[in-house]
Structure 1
């Protein structure tokens, strides 16, 4: 899978899928709290595995689509963060303990 530069938060994509549907109506149909859906749409919360299945059922997509978008977004955010240098594990040769 090729790496997408600056992938959008899945909430942005979801907003496009919802079109003119209100957050209240979409949340009701998904069986989630309106605040939960609002946080996703605003990019302040991610798509959980459960939400990926709910969105797939409601929109006729796959849960992998939503989970994959979230993973790409999360990896891109992590790639931008500073982190300490981590040394590679030194593994013993087979047969040596």
Structure 2
């Protein structure tokens, strides 16, 4: 079985678990930046910051998970690494969604979809 690249954005891997039944924690954009881009390319935070015209502190905070990716930073990173605009923002949104899903799981379980609420109201 193979997955077409066009279908990747439609797939939900949120139920992927590791041995012991624990979910794989979401990867932060900062971790992705460090592990998949900076380290393999031999770039320092300072060098990246200088190349894209932002304070080095911004890159450090993103990597440390204390700051998210803004539209400004996304456009600069995408241009520098040759990615399509919005790539880093989508990664940030996916990360925040997974964090929120975990934090809100009990509250979300109590929310009924509108179709269920409307159906129940129509039959009452």
TM range (shorter): 0.7 to 0.9
SS of 1:52 mapped into structure 2: helix
Q: With the length of structure 1 as denominator, give the TM-score of the two structures.
A: 0.78
State the match for 1:10 in structure 2.
Answer: 29
* Alignment coverage as a number of residue pairs: 91
Root mean square deviation, CA, Å: 2.1
Residue 52 of structure 2: which of 11, 18, 30 is its match? 30
Which of the pair is proportionally richer in helix?
2
For 2:13 and 2:70, locate their aligned partners in 1 and report how far apart those are by CA, in whole Å: 20
Residue 42 of structure 1: which of 64, 68, 72 is its match? 64
Q: How does 1:83-94 map to 2 (within 5 A)?
A: 83=107
Higher relative contact order (CA 8 A, sep 6+): 1
CA contact (8 A) 1:11 1:41 kept: yes
| Gaps in structure 2 of 5+ consecutive residues | 1-9, 15-24, 119-124
| Gaps in structure 1 of 5+ consecutive residues | 92-97
Q: With the length of structure 2 as denominator, give the TM-score of the two structures.
A: 0.63
Residue 77 of structure 2: which of 37, 44, 55 is its match? 55
Is the alpha carbon distance of 1:60 and 1:74 closer, same or farther for their aligned partners in structure 2, counting shifts above 3 Å?
Answer: same
SS of 1:63 mapped into structure 2: coil
Residue 79 of structure 1: which of 82, 101, 118 is its match? 101
